[in-house]
A and B are shown apart, each in its own frame.
Chain A
Amino acid sequence: GQNIDQPTEMTATEGAIVQINCTYQTSGFNGLFWYQQHAGEAPTFLSYNVLDGLEEKGRFSSFLSRSKGYSYLLLKELQMKDSASYLCAVDSGGSYIPTFGRGTSLIVHP
């Protein structure tokens, strides 16, 4: 079976740093995706981690620990436009098809 767990909602202040955690238990693992989805819009790709460790991409970084079944997305210098849902998804079949969690709704306030 597949189980992907992330917090339902988080709030943070503009300019701050926020870490969104994701734990997973899946039958098979090839990589982990993070997507951003603004309300009423399509998801947009943020990252895909295969190896353990931190990958940085501008203000966004993603971390993976395969042995712990754990990942996090780190957002620095938060901006109001970062208010969105952040979706953690696992590629368990090796064909880059993500199995999504429910998503974390991030609210950034002034």
Chain B
Amino acid sequence: DAGVTQSPTHLIKTRGQQVTLRCSPKSGHDTVSWYQQALGQGPQFIFQYYEEEERQRGNFPDRFSGHQFPNYSSELNVNALLLGDSALYLCASSRATRNEQFFGPGTRLTVL
């Protein structure tokens, strides 16, 4: 049983560009959450998707958007990249009524 997978592993972009990150949840999970983790910090919640709808959102600008597909996989899109968007982006999946989230290995985004 594969756990949470994310692609790509690493990504380098320049300011102003757009990026799409992808996540496949653990088998049996229907809820996907996205987090941003800067170096030396804890993960910060971006948003959560359930039944293809954004269920909750953290304190992130509209440049950050997402999508969930019928197979529960998800994408995170970031537009107009800033240097400060450089971070590890983590995807976590869970079952809607369970407290345990399983994290993927993350995508390391570097904005130059």
A-side interface residues toward B, CB under 8 Å?
Answer: 31, 33, 41-45, 48, 87, 89, 91, 93, 95-103
Is B90 an interface position by the 8 A CB rule?
Answer: yes
Instruction: Establish whether residues B99 and A42, one from each chain, have CB atoms under 8 Å apart when the complex forms.
Output: no
With A91-B99, A96-B98, A97-B33 known, 17 other A-B pairs at CB within 8 A are A42-B90, A42-B104, A42-B105, A45-B100, A45-B102, A87-B42, A89-B42, A95-B48, A95-B55, A95-B56, A97-B45, A98-B43, A98-B101, A99-B45, A100-B43, A103-B41, A103-B42
CB-defined interface of B74-102 with A at 8 Å, one 1/0 digit per residue? 00000000000000001000100011111
Q: Nearest B residue to A31 by beta-carbon distance?
A: B99
C-alpha spacing A96/B98, complex, angstroms: 7
Q: Hey, which chain A residues are within 8 Å of B33, CB to CB?
A: 97
B75 to chain A, nearest CB (A): 18
B55 to chain A, nearest CB (A): 8
Q: Hey, which chain B residues are within 8 Å of A98, CB to CB?
A: 43, 45, 101
B49 to chain A, nearest CB (A): 12
C-alpha spacing A42/B102, complex, angstroms: 9
Instruction: Establish whether residues A48 and B43, one from each chain, have CB atoms under 8 Å apart when the complex forms.
Output: no
Instruction: Establish whether residues B98 and A43, one from each chain, have CB atoms under 8 Å apart when the complex forms.
Output: no
Is B28 an interface position by the 8 A CB rule?
Answer: no
C-alpha spacing A26/B108, complex, angstroms: 30
C-alpha spacing A89/B105, complex, angstroms: 19
Specify the main secondary structure of chain B where it touches its partner.
Answer: loop
Query: Shortest 8 CB-CB distances between A and B: which pairs?
Result: A100-B42, A42-B103, A96-B99, A48-B99, A45-B100, A43-B103, A103-B42, A100-B43
Instruction: Establish whether residues B40 and A102, one from each chain, have CB atoms under 8 Å apart when the complex forms.
Output: yes
Q: Nearest A residue to B105 by beta-carbon distance?
A: A42
Query: Do A42 and B106 form a contact, CB below 8 Å, given A31-B99, A97-B56?
Result: yes
Instruction: Establish whether residues B99 and A102, one from each chain, have CB atoms under 8 Å apart when the complex forms.
Output: no
Query: Do A45 and B42 form a contact, CB below 8 Å, given A93-B56, A97-B33, A97-B48?
Result: no
Is B65 an interface position by the 8 A CB rule?
Answer: no
C-alpha spacing A10/B89, complex, angstroms: 26
